[in-house]
Amino acid sequence: MTNVSRRQFGKWVGAVGMAAGFPASRLMAQTDTYPSKRSTIVVGYTAGGAADTIARIVGEYLNPGLGALIENRPGAGGMIGARYVASSAPDGYTLLQGNTGEIAINKFVNPENGFEAEKTLIPAAMLYSTPTIICVLENSPFRSLQDFLAAAKAKPDQITFGSTGRGTQSHIAGEFLSKQTGSQLRHVPYPGFPQGMQDLMSGNIDSFWIAHPPAVPFLSSKKIRYLALTTAQRSAFVPDVPTVPEVTGITPFDFPVWGGIFVPAKTPERIVNALNVEVKRILALPEVLEKIKIQNFEVMVRTPAQASEFVKVENSKYEKIVKDLNHKA
C-alpha cells in the first residue's frame, strides 16, 4: 500500500471507528494484522440445531491455527444473538451465524423491537440452505399433509405447529399455510431445536416445523415422519417427501432455511473480503464437504456483493408475506 493510499485508508477507518464508537487507532491496527486472534461465532439459537451445527463445522477450520469459539445466545427467534453482534466492535472477531429469521423476517413481525438487521449487519459470506420440514411422530394419526390440514380445519386453533421462535421462517411458513388453506393452526414457539423436538416426542405438540439437518437422526430411527417440505422443490436428501405446493397447489410457497456469516455494518471492507475468502476456502475442503453432506446441508457460495443482494431479495419477499398476513407476533 502506498503512503497516500495508506493515509486515505487510515482516514476512512478512523471515520468508521469514530462513527461506531471504537478508537480509530485500534481499528487500524487490527485491520492491518487481521486475523491475529481467535474469533467468536455467535449463534442465536440453542446448541444442536441447524445454525449451531453449521457454525461448529465452519468454526473448526476458520483461520488455521486460530479457529473460532462458538457462543450460543438463544432467544427471540435469533434476535438476542443478532443484537449482540451488531453492537460489537467491527473488527472481524465477533461474527454472527445469521439465519433467515433474524436477518430477513423478525423486523417485520416485531417492528416494535426497533432492530433492523440490514442496517446494522452485513453478510461476509453465505454458508448453507436447507429445506424446512413438517414433521410428526411416527405414530401420529396424520399420515399425510392432507390429513393434518383437514384436522386443523375441523378443530380450529387446536392443531399445533412448533417452530424455533416467532419471526423464523418456519413460523411464517405455518402462518402462511394456515391462512391459504383456512386451517387455523396454532403456533407454539421454542428457543431452539432440542426443546421443540422434546415436546414433539412427548406428544405436547402435533407437529414441529424445523430445518431438515438436525431432524435426520430422528427420521432415521423412525421416531418421526415427514409430511412435507415447505419449499418449492423436493430435496435430493429426502426425494420421496413431497412439497407443500405439490400437495396443496399453493404457489409461490418457498420457505427454506439459509444462513451465513454476518458482521457489524461498520466492519472494514478488507476484513469482510478476508472473511469471504476464508469461508470459501473452508467450504471447498473435502473433509468439510463430507461433514456438510452427512448433515444434509446444501452449500451456498456467494461474494459479499452477491450475499448482500440475496439478503435484499429475501427481505423484500418476507416484507410482502408478513404484510399480507397482517401478522404481528
Q: What is the DSSP string of 104-124?
A: IIHHHH-GGG---HHHHEEEE
Per-residue model confidence (pLDDT) at position 7: 44
Instruction: State the cell numbers at 175.
Output: 402462518
**Global confidence as pTM:** 0.83
Sketch the domain layout of the chain as residue ranges: 34-129+257-325, 132-248
Average pLDDT value for the chain: 89
Residue 241 in this model has a pLDDT that exceeds 60 = yes
Q: Which CATH class is domain 34-129+257-325?
A: alpha beta
Report yes or no: 211 and 162 within 8 Å, Cβ to Cβ: no
Residue 91 in this model has a pLDDT that exceeds 60 = yes
Per-residue model confidence (pLDDT) at position 20: 47
Residue 306 in this model has a pLDDT that exceeds 60 = yes
Per-residue model confidence (pLDDT) at position 15: 45
Distance of CA 192 to the CA centre of its chain: 12
Q: What is the tens place of the pLDDT at every residue in 148-158? A: 999 999 999 99
**Residue appearing with cell numbers 412439497:** 243
Q: Hey, do 34-129+257-325 and 132-248 end up sharing a CATH topology, with the first three levels equal?
A: yes
> What's domain 132-248's architecture?
3-Layer(aba) Sandwich (3.40)
Tally the C-alpha atoms within 13 A of residue 311's C-alpha that lie toward its C-beta: 29
Per-residue model confidence (pLDDT) at position 11: 44
Return the number of other C-beta atoms located less than 10 Å from residue 86's C-beta.
23
Residue 2 in this model has a pLDDT that exceeds 60 = no
Share of the chain above pLDDT 90, in %: 76
pLDDT-based confidence at residue 30 (cuts at 50, 70, 90): low
∠ CA 314-320-323 to the nearest 5 degrees?
135
